[in-house]
């Protein structure tokens, strides 16, 4: 199963490298685009959920790394909830 990493920039300018066990991330994000914070989290939840299920279909168990990545995204996003117009930029895929 192809692994994909995607680099993002949080509203404070900090960057993070994120993991997906599937290329499905490409269906939800475009490099260079910024997404409203809630939209970014919702898209991440959906994409990483699909990625985890693809692992389950192939190997018989969900991908805990995808769920860990989602939890990390949700924790970080919570820091910016009080910022109006907070956005997350998807920098690149690798």
Q: What is the pTM of this model?
A: 0.95
Task: Say if residue 1's pLDDT is above 80.
Answer: no
Instruction: Scan for tokens 């009080």, then name that residue.
Output: 82
**In terms of Cα–Cα distance, which of 40, 57, 47 is closest to 24?**
47
- Please tell me the predicted confidence (pLDDT) of residue 79: 97
How many domains are contained in the chain?
A: 1
* Domain of residue 17, residue span: 4-93
Condensed to tens digits (0 to 9), the pLDDT of residues 22-77 reads: 999 999 999 999 999 999 999 999 999 999 999 999 999 999 999 999 999 999 99
Condensed to tens digits (0 to 9), the pLDDT of residues 79-91 reads: 999 999 999 999 9
- 45 exposure class (CB count in 10 Å sphere: 0-12, 13-18, 19+): middle
CB 21 within 8 A of CB 70: no
């Amino acid at each position: 199963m192809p692994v994909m990493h995607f680099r993002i920039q949080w509203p404070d300018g900090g960057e993070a490298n994120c993991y997906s066990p599937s290329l499905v991330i490409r269906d939800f994000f475009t490099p260079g685009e910024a997404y409203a914070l809630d939209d970014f989290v919702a898209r991440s939840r959906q994409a990483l959920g699909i990625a985890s299920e693809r692992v389950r279909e192939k190997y018989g168990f969900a991908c805990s790394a995808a769920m860990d990545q989602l939890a990390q995204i949700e924790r970080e996003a919570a820091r910016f909830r009080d910022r109006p117009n907070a956005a997350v930029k998807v920098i690149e895929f690798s």
